[in-house]
Structure 1
Amino acid sequence: MSGIVEGLAKAYVKRWLWKAAAPVAVPVFGVLTLLLIPLAVLAAPEASTASASSSCSIGGTGATVAGTELDAVQMGHAQTIVTVASGDGLDPYAATVALATAYQESRIRMLANDGSSPRLTAEQAAVTATSLNFPHDGLGSDHDSVNTFQQRWIAGWGTVAQLMDPVYAAEAFYRRLIEVPNWQVIPLTEAAQAVQVSAYGSAYARWEPLASELTTMLWPAAQATAADPGGAVAGVCPGLPVASGSWIRPTAGTVTSGFGPRGGTLHAGVDIAGPRDTPVYATADGTVVIAACTSAYCDRDGSLSLTGYGNLVELDHGGGVTTRYAHLSAYTATAGQRVSAGALLGFQGSTGNSTGVHLHLEVRLDGASVDPVPWLADRGVDLQAATIAG
């Protein structure tokens, strides 16, 4: 994996009004302000309950581009594709070719493959189906094709695990694109077809206006990311309206692992799993103590062999009470910052000692971890609920 991967989890759109975390950005880049769709909240500002829209994520809140509606997931993948091109020193045309290709092949979604194609042997089908073990946005069944570009492990694009990494997928596309003679000047559909060798090679041209507008929209953010990939990002998602002094559930999703012994060690918190880049909010008013990568790397998913919390935000609520928000794909807070309950802190991810996308939430009293479920229940917060509520 090349150096562009460095900092990419924190690299989604720096220094626009939202700064980085999002594939779409704000004020300083005027036209992009039109892309922000407010986060839906069900509670009034004075209420202690709030609900977050599932359409809001690190990838943005959706946009209409060249007459085509793209949701937050698609915008997130589009930003990754553009950011990789910028980081690899390629020009915007490379990103345009890649985006047109990805839209034709998958509608810019990370697709897994269940191996059901009759063209696969039983062994090939089994290997292809391992793509289901990785985060994905839907299923495909075309041969052994996977990911946003529908790349094939049998055709030498990489292992299934590599191909299910959005950054690797984009880099693999660009590696082959730059080998195409005169790729910078030949028609887009010819450049894309030379890389993809598709049965429908002329189809890519249809999406050139969409891809060109997307590139224009996302390129400044990609350049800002390449220039400064580290540090906190600023989020697309607004904070939640929560009454001062209230406690809330910090993120949407399902509790998948509770507090207690796990594999001979203490699992010091509770895991709440939702879609990748689901917003994570402050459970209560507090001051940011830590906002940093606490593992050897946080620019991509971690593993059980990696130590640390990955991207971590810790809040001090006073009275000896602190909360920790771990494994974030990116964080939006900075140390020393004062935040209110419902403030955006980051996004669910799988950085650090983790094998799946989730938020690891801890509650600590004078430094000692306690079970967050009953502790927060005493403050009116039901962690077993599927949505954010106080």
Structure 2
Amino acid sequence: MSGTAARAAESYARAWLWRAAAPCALPVFAGLTLLLIPLAVIGAHEASTPTASSACSIGGTGATVAGIELDALQMGHAQTIADVAAARGLDAYAATVALATAYQESRVRMLANDGSSPELTGEQAAVTATSLQYPHDGLGSDHDSVNTFQQRWLAGWGTVAQLMDPVYAAEAFYARLVEVPNWQTVPLTQAAQAVQISAAGDAYARWEPLARELTAMLWPAAQATAADPGGAVAGVCPGLPVAAGSWIRPTAGTVTSGYGPRGGALHAGVDIAGPRDSPIYAAADGTVVIAACTSAYCDRDGSLSLAGYGNLVELDHGGGVTTRYGHLSAYTVTAGERVAAGTLVGFQGSTGNSTGVHLHFEVRQDGASVDPVPWLADRGVDLHASVAA
């Protein structure tokens, strides 16, 4: 599996149009019970407060496709692959080729690589193993191959950091696919093999029925997002059942930056980092005050040179208390909407003034920010508790 370098930043920027939900045909509630793990017991309530989980993603909660069961993570990556094709103006067959390839190579999972292949030098192994630093769904060890397509940094596909981004991975695949002569008319396995140059070049044909059915399911949403990337996306993840009056952790992941001075300014919240498009839930009952892009653009990742929260949701909980959810890849609510604690409000992203995927979470009392960690601790929620992402 080798190839040329992936597309440049312009194409990559457009790829962040993958914020759409999966079609309503998906049986999105099938895996609800997997989402709920007890986090904290609120003293005033008898029931355990469920924790946010990333078992559900922007792609849905799993589906059975061509007789094969795909979980939420696989469906999320499949939606990304379809969305990138639509964003690039490619047709559904491109997505079908890519999906068959991704299933053969990784079962549509973002695989890291521990660098244990005997084919690598010590230095190459060390670089390959840096893939473990990025969100991933499993571990591989085939040469220096990583991600859903098992692309190799040594073969010029991009840096390890780039290849561990599922959108970049899809962009890289399509950049090569469109260079294949007559790729739109040749057999799927021939097109895939021309891109991948695999030792098992005929294997892709086995997954063509799966890929065609997946494309039929995901393509309408991909086209809709490419045509109109603005606004709220439909919520496909089930909300969490939360006792009335309770507070919960808004998302899964790890606190990577706390409240306080940072870079000469006040970091007015905490950053909780998990996999891209991990669901974000309302921390308590409230009304949506803001659900909008607050930066110059939100259709792709931001940077430190870009001002604003990116996609932001703000909730008013009454009594002068508000919460903010920043840097979202997409939001699922609209201003004026009343939401219950545990309602899906968006997905983790890196829009706005951000350099990595995470949720920037704020608590404000009468307009002034307060440290969310002790504030939520007083309400039975430990933000520093280990919560799988």
Q: Compute the TM-score of the two structures, normalised by the length of structure 1.
A: 0.86
Distance in 1 (alpha carbons) for counterparts of 2:11 and 2:335: 26
Distance in 1 (alpha carbons) for counterparts of 2:85 and 2:271: 34
Distance in 2 (alpha carbons) for counterparts of 1:112 and 1:303: 25
Tell me which amino acid in the other structure corresponds to 1:359.
Answer: L
Q: CA deviation at 1:143?
A: 1.9
Tell me which amino acid in the other structure corresponds to 2:362.
Answer: E
- Report what 1:270 is aligned to: 270
- Report what 1:180 is aligned to: 180
Distance in 2 (alpha carbons) for counterparts of 1:51 and 1:116: 35
- Report what 1:109 is aligned to: 109
For the pair 1:73 / 2:80, whether they are aligned, the reply is no
Q: CA deviation at 1:247?
A: 2.5
Q: Percent identity?
A: 80
**Can you give the 5+ residue segments of structure 1 that lack an aligned partner in the other structure?**
13-19, 27-31
Distance in 1 (alpha carbons) for counterparts of 2:291 and 2:14: 15
Distance in 2 (alpha carbons) for counterparts of 1:363 and 1:171: 37
Mapped contact 2:259–2:372 kept (Cα < 8 A): yes
Distance in 1 (alpha carbons) for counterparts of 2:314 and 2:28: 31
Q: CA deviation at 1:306?
A: 4.1
SS for the counterpart of 2:313 is: strand
Mapped contact 2:17–2:87 kept (Cα < 8 A): no
Tell me which amino acid in the other structure corresponds to 1:76.
Answer: G
For the pair 1:362 / 2:355, whether they are aligned, the reply is no
For the pair 1:197 / 2:197, whether they are aligned, the reply is yes
- Report what 1:29 is aligned to: none
Distance in 1 (alpha carbons) for counterparts of 2:297 and 2:207: 36
| Aligned CA distance change for structure 1 residues 110 and 298 (closer, same or farther; 3 Å) | farther
- Output the aligned Cα RMSD: 2.7
Mapped contact 2:26–2:62 kept (Cα < 8 A): no
- Report what 1:11 is aligned to: 18
The alignment of Structure 1 onto Structure 2 pairs a total of residues equal to 373
SS for the counterpart of 2:49 is: coil
| Aligned CA distance change for structure 1 residues 384 and 135 (closer, same or farther; 3 Å) | closer
Mapped contact 1:7–1:298 kept (Cα < 8 A): no
Q: Compute the TM-score of the two structures, normalised by the length of structure 2.
A: 0.86
- Report what 1:156 is aligned to: 156
For the pair 1:291 / 2:298, whether they are aligned, the reply is no
- Report what 1:317 is aligned to: 317
Distance in 2 (alpha carbons) for counterparts of 1:285 and 1:352: 26
Mapped contact 1:49–1:248 kept (Cα < 8 A): yes
Q: CA deviation at 1:114?
A: 2.8
| Aligned CA distance change for structure 1 residues 222 and 260 (closer, same or farther; 3 Å) | same
Distance in 2 (alpha carbons) for counterparts of 1:382 and 1:127: 35
SS for the counterpart of 1:154 is: helix
User: After alignment, is 200-209 or 279-288 more displaced?
Assistant: 279-288
- Report what 1:50 is aligned to: 50
Distance in 2 (alpha carbons) for counterparts of 1:101 and 1:91: 16
SS for the counterpart of 1:211 is: helix
Mapped contact 1:5–1:299 kept (Cα < 8 A): no
Q: CA deviation at 1:164?
A: 2.3
| Aligned CA distance change for structure 1 residues 116 and 243 (closer, same or farther; 3 Å) | closer
